[in-house]
Chains A and B, each alone.
Chain A
Amino acid sequence: MSKETQQQPISKGHSLWSDAWLRLKKNKMAMASLVVLIIVGVLCFIVPAFSIIADPNTQDLNNTFLSPNSSNWLGTDQSGRDLLARLLYGGQISLLVGIVATTVSVIIGLVYGAIAGYAGGKTDSLMMRIVDILYGLPFLVLVILFSLLISEHAKELTDNLVTRWPEQEVFIKKFVNLVPLFIAIGALGWLTMARVARAQVLTLKKQEFVEAAVSLGLSHRRILLRHIMPNMLGPIIVYATLTVPGFVLTEATLSFLGLGVESPNSSWGILLSEGANYMETYPRLLVIPSITFCMTLLALNFLGDGLRDALDPKAAKD
C-alpha cells in the first residue's frame, strides 16, 4: 500500500475482476447469453424440485402425441410422456455433463500442463509429445470405449451401494448410469486445457515475482500452487467456459447414437434423436428440443467468447 493509493480512494476496486465485469457488461451478446443461461438453469434445476411439472417418466399410452394443451404445455411424446418435463429433466443431465466433465478436464489439464511447463526441458517435451499423440486419437471412439470400461466397474459399485441403502436405489442407479460418461468425456477432453496451462506457466515462470519466490527458497510445490496458479485463473476460466458447450454436444452426440445416457433418463441428445424419428408427422418433437438445445449452446459459446474478451483483453481479436 503506497501513499498514492491512500490519497486516491477512487482507484480502489479496479481489480482484474471488476475490470473484466465492466467489460463484460458492455458486451450485449454475452450479457443476453448470461440471462438465457440463468433462465435455463433455473428452469432445469429449480423448477422440477417444486413438483409443478409432470413426472418425466410416466407413460400414458392413451395420450400419445398430444398437441400442447393446458396440462401438457408442450404436448406429449410417442409414449405419452410430458415433453416439458422431459425437456427440463433432460436439461439437468445435459448441463451436468457440461459442468462435471469440464471440472474433470480442467483439473487434469491444469495439473498436467502446469507440471510440464514448470519442469521444462526434456520432461516438458516428452509430456507434450504424449498430448500430441492423444490429440490424434479419435475422441468419440475413445469416449465410448472408456465409458464402457468404467461402467463395468461401476456396476459392482452400484450393487454394493444398493444393498447398503436399498431405499435410494433409483437415485444410485441414475447416478452410476451417468458418472462413467461424465468422467470419460472429461478425462479425454483435457488436452487443450493442458496446452493452455503450459503456455501460461511458461510466460509466468520467467517473471520477477517467481524469481523472487525461488530466491526465497520456497519449494516448487508452493511456488506452483501459491504463486503461479492464482495468476493463471483468468485464461483457465475462459477456456473452461469454452469447453462446456463442446462437452454438452459430445454427450448429445453419444446419446443420439444410443451410446450415452440410457433410458429412463432423458437428455437433450435422446430427445433430439427420438424427435428425429417423428420429424415428418410431429415436427414439434424435434423442433422444441432443437431450439432449446441450440439456444443453450449458443449462449454458452457467446458467454465464453465474451469472457475471453473481458478477462484477456490482449487475446481479444478486435
Chain B
Amino acid sequence: MLRTVISRLLQGIIVVFCLLLVTFMLVRLMPGDPFSGEKAHAAHIIEKNKERFHLDKSNSEQFVVYLGLLARGNLGDSPVKEQPVSKIIRHSFPASLILGIAGISIAILIGIPAGILSALRKNSYIDYSTMVVAMAGISIPSFVVAPLLAGHVATRIPFLKVAGWGDPFDWVLPALTLGLATAAYLARITRGGMLEVLNQDYIRTAHAKGVRPAVVVTKHAIRGGIIPAVAYIGPAFAMLITGSFIIETIFQVPGMGQHFVNATKDRDYFLLQGVVILFGVLIVFANLVADIVLAMLNPRIRA
C-alpha cells in the first residue's frame, strides 16, 4: 500500500511537471505579454519590467529560472497585479475551498442516495423521474441556474443575498448551484454501478441464504456499487475547487476560479503558472485519495 502511494506520488510529480511545462510554453506562444495590456508604459519601463521578470531571456532560460524559484518555494510575482503569486492564492483559496467542500457535500448527499434508490426501483416511476431530473441537471448549465437562483430564490428568502461572500448564508446559493450539476452526474454513475452489482452472483447468494433485503443492500451491494461514484468524486472535487469561475462571477465569490480566466486574458504568466500548479497538485491528491478509498472498498484492488 505504502509503496503504491509513493509511486503514485512520484507519478504525480511528473504529471504536475508536464502540466507546468505545457502551460508555460502555451502562454508564451500566445500573442502579447503581461505589459502589452491597457496600462501603456514608456518603452524603457517596459524594458526594465521585462528584465525584472526575466522575460527578455529565451523561453528555456526562463523555465530554468522559474524552476529555481519553485525549488526555493517561491511562486514568483504577478507582473500584472504586482503582488506575490503565493499571496494572491492565499487570499482566494479559502473561498474556493469552502465552496468546493460545500458543493461536493451537496452532490454526495443528493446524488448517491438518488442513484441507489433508482437502481433499487429499476424501471419504476421513481427511477424514470430521477433519471429525467438528473439528465436535466446535466443539461442545464450553471450559468443558467445561477442567475435564476439569484433572481428568484435569493430575493424571496430574507437571509439570502443575491451576491456576496460575508457570512455562511452566502455560501448556500453558490454551493447549491455548484453541487446540483455534480449531483446529477453522481446519481447516474451510482445507478449504473449499483445495477451492475445487483446482478452479481454474490448478491443472489446473499438473498438465497436468507439475508434480509435491507442488509443485502446496505452491507453488500452499496459497497461495490458506489465504486464508480467514488472514482468520479476525486477528480470532481478538484474541478469544483478550481473550475467554478462562472459561479464565482455571478455570486461575486472572491475565489480562485477567476484567476484562471483573468490570468489567461491578461497574459499574467506567473499567476497562471501558480494556479495551474495548485490545480495539478489538487488533481493528483484527489485521485490518490479516491484510489485509496477504492482499495478499501474493493478487496480485489488491494492486492
Residue contact A137 to B144, C-beta cutoff 8 Å: no
Residue contact B261 to A301, C-beta cutoff 8 Å: no
Complex formed: what's the CA distance from A283 to B123 in Å? 37
Main secondary structure, interface of A, reads: helix
Tell me if A293 counts as interface (CB < 8 A to partner B).
yes
Number of A interface residues in the complex (CB < 8 A): 40
* Cβ-neighbour of B280 out of A136, A152, A245 (below 8 A): A136
Tell me if B136 counts as interface (CB < 8 A to partner A).
yes
Residue contact A133 to B139, C-beta cutoff 8 Å: no
Which chain B residues border A146 with CB–CB below 8 Å? Answer: 26
Tell me which of A136, A152, A249, A294 has the highest count of chain B C-beta atoms within 10 A of its own C-beta: A136
Q: Contacts A133-B15, A145-B264, A272-B144 given: A318-B123 contact, CB under 8 Å?
A: yes
Which chain B residues border A256 with CB–CB below 8 Å? Answer: 143, 246
Residue contact A249 to B261, C-beta cutoff 8 Å: no
Residue contact A149 to B22, C-beta cutoff 8 Å: no
Give the bracket for the number of chain B residues in contact with chain A.
35 or more
Residue contact A133 to B19, C-beta cutoff 8 Å: yes
In chain B, positions 218-260 with a C-beta closer than 8 Å to chain A are 242-243, 245-246, 250, 260
Residue contact B139 to A290, C-beta cutoff 8 Å: no
Residue contact B139 to A136, C-beta cutoff 8 Å: no
Q: How far is the CB of B203 from chain A (nearest CB, A)?
A: 15
Tell me if B301 counts as interface (CB < 8 A to partner A).
no
Which chain A residues border B138 with CB–CB below 8 Å? Answer: 301
In chain B, positions 119-178 with a C-beta closer than 8 Å to chain A are 122-123, 132, 135-136, 138-141, 143-144, 147-148, 151
Residue contact B122 to A136, C-beta cutoff 8 Å: no
Q: How far is the CB of A314 from chain B (nearest CB, A)?
A: 11
Residue contact A294 to B140, C-beta cutoff 8 Å: yes
Tell me if A259 counts as interface (CB < 8 A to partner B).
yes
Residue contact A317 to B196, C-beta cutoff 8 Å: yes
Which chain B residues border A294 with CB–CB below 8 Å? Answer: 136, 139-141, 144
Q: How far is the CB of B248 from chain A (nearest CB, A)?
A: 11
Residue contact B139 to A297, C-beta cutoff 8 Å: yes
Tell me if A276 counts as interface (CB < 8 A to partner B).
yes
Q: How far is the CB of A167 from chain B (nearest CB, A)?
A: 29
Which chain B residues border A298 with CB–CB below 8 Å? Answer: 135-136, 139
Q: How far is the CB of A140 from chain B (nearest CB, A)?
A: 7
Tell me if A238 counts as interface (CB < 8 A to partner B).
no
Name the residue on B nearest A295 (C-beta): B139
Tell me if B276 counts as interface (CB < 8 A to partner A).
yes
Q: Contacts A136-B19, A294-B139, A302-B135 given: A149-B195 contact, CB under 8 Å?
A: no
Complex formed: what's the CA distance from A305 to B138 in Å? 13
Complex formed: what's the CA distance from A223 to B295 in Å? 39
* Cβ-neighbour of A152 out of B23, B31, B132, B196 (below 8 A): B31
Residue contact A257 to B261, C-beta cutoff 8 Å: yes
Tell me if B29 counts as interface (CB < 8 A to partner A).
yes
Complex formed: what's the CA distance from A163 to B48 in Å? 40
Complex formed: what's the CA distance from A283 to B148 in Å? 10
Residue contact A279 to B151, C-beta cutoff 8 Å: yes
Which chain A residues border B279 with CB–CB below 8 Å? Answer: 138
Complex formed: what's the CA distance from A276 to B242 in Å? 23
Residue contact B147 to A259, C-beta cutoff 8 Å: no
Residue contact B144 to A257, C-beta cutoff 8 Å: no
Complex formed: what's the CA distance from A89 to B26 in Å? 33
Complex formed: what's the CA distance from A252 to B139 in Å? 12
Tell me if A213 counts as interface (CB < 8 A to partner B).
no
Complex formed: what's the CA distance from A149 to B26 in Å? 8
Residue contact A286 to B147, C-beta cutoff 8 Å: yes
Tell me if B107 counts as interface (CB < 8 A to partner A).
no
Kindly supply a per-residue 1/0 record for chain A positions 244-288, scoring 1 wherever the CB is within 8 Å of any chain B CB and 0 otherwise. Answer: 010001001100110100000000000011001001100100100
Residue contact B264 to A144, C-beta cutoff 8 Å: yes
Which chain A residues border B141 with CB–CB below 8 Å? Answer: 249, 252-253, 272, 293-294, 297
Residue contact A145 to B260, C-beta cutoff 8 Å: no
Q: How far is the CB of A100 from chain B (nearest CB, A)?
A: 20
Which chain A residues border B276 with CB–CB below 8 Å? Answer: 138, 141
Which chain B residues border A19 with CB–CB below 8 Å? Answer: none
* Cβ-neighbour of B195 out of A283, A302, A318 (below 8 A): A318
Residue contact B29 to A272, C-beta cutoff 8 Å: no
Complex formed: what's the CA distance from A303 to B202 in Å? 34
Q: How far is the CB of A33 from chain B (nearest CB, A)?
A: 10
In chain B, positions 167-205 with a C-beta closer than 8 Å to chain A are 191-192, 195-196
Q: Contacts A276-B147, A294-B139 given: A148-B196 contact, CB under 8 Å?
A: no
Q: How far is the CB of B120 from chain A (nearest CB, A)?
A: 12
* Cβ-neighbour of A136 out of B15, B143, B261, B272 (below 8 A): B15
Q: How far is the CB of A181 from chain B (nearest CB, A)?
A: 15
Residue contact B261 to A280, C-beta cutoff 8 Å: no
Complex formed: what's the CA distance from A252 to B142 in Å? 11
Tell me if B283 counts as interface (CB < 8 A to partner A).
yes
Complex formed: what's the CA distance from A317 to B148 in Å? 34
- Shortest 5 CB-CB contacts between residues of A and residues of B: A297-B139, A298-B139, A145-B26, A317-B192, A276-B147
